[in-house]
Amino acid sequence: MKKIIVIVMFSWFGLHSLEVEAQTIQWTSFDNLTDSLRKERRPLLVFIHTDWCKYCKMMEVKTFTDPLIVNTLNRSFYCLDLNAEEALSLTFLNKKYKFKPSGVNTGIQELAEILGTENGKLSYPTTVFFDQNLQVQNRVVGALEAKQLLKLLPVNE
């Protein structure tokens, strides 16, 4: 009987602890950005990445799940997730951008190239910050830890 009680208690506490849901960034789609900006002007954060980039994955798993980062970005920014090698066309700030093939099953998203290129080179990850007037304020090449990203975010309280 004691074993059953112990098992039930561990099961209940184990399941109860799983109820705490991880916070995640509310990524705004490029299709919905114009409507979102009409409702409320906010700064933008554009995260440029690829599927194969391990530093990009580190940011997705660590930086963009940090509770303070998630809370700050979800409250004050529109966040856009831009896979630089995804073969699709996008509209950003009323302009269309295409995927530019560069070989068999490879290429680059034109918008990623325009926003992320620094000194003639596009590196991953790159994070681009726009103010609420939609002007580029900062471009950071390389992985950012939560503390580093927090220091780059303007305080709009």
Who's near 91: CB < 8 A, 6+ residues apart? Answer: 30, 31, 34, 97
Asked if residue 17 is part of any domain, the answer here is no
pTM: 0.84
Is the Cα dihedral 140, 29, 79, 145 positive or negative? negative
Task: Kindly state whether residue 42 falls inside one of the protein's structural domains.
Answer: yes
**Residue 2, pLDDT score:** 53
Query: Does a structural domain hold residue 55?
Result: yes
Is 101 inside a domain boundary?
Answer: yes
pLDDT of residue 12: 46
Contact present, 150 and 76 (Cβ < 8 Å)? no
Q: What is the number of domains present in the chain?
A: 1
Look at the alpha carbons of 95, 96, 101, 105 in this order and tell me if their dihedral is positive or negative: positive
Answer yes or no: is 102 within a domain: yes
Q: Does any domain span residue 146?
A: yes
State residue 21's pLDDT score: 53
SS3 8: helix
Could you tell me if residue 3 is inside a domain?
A: no
Write down the pLDDT at residue 40.
Answer: 96
Q: Say what the pLDDT of residue 131 is.
A: 96
Residues recorded for the chain: 157
Low-confidence ranges of the chain (pLDDT < 70): 1-22, 155-157
Kindly report the CATH number assigned to the domain that includes residue 101: 3.40.30.10
Closest by alpha carbon to 82, among 103, 104, 107, 110? Answer: 110
- Show the domain range for 58: 24-152
Read off the pLDDT of residues 26-63 as tens digits, 9 standing for 90 and up. 999 999 999 999 999 999 999 999 999 999 999 999 99
Residue 22, pLDDT score = 61
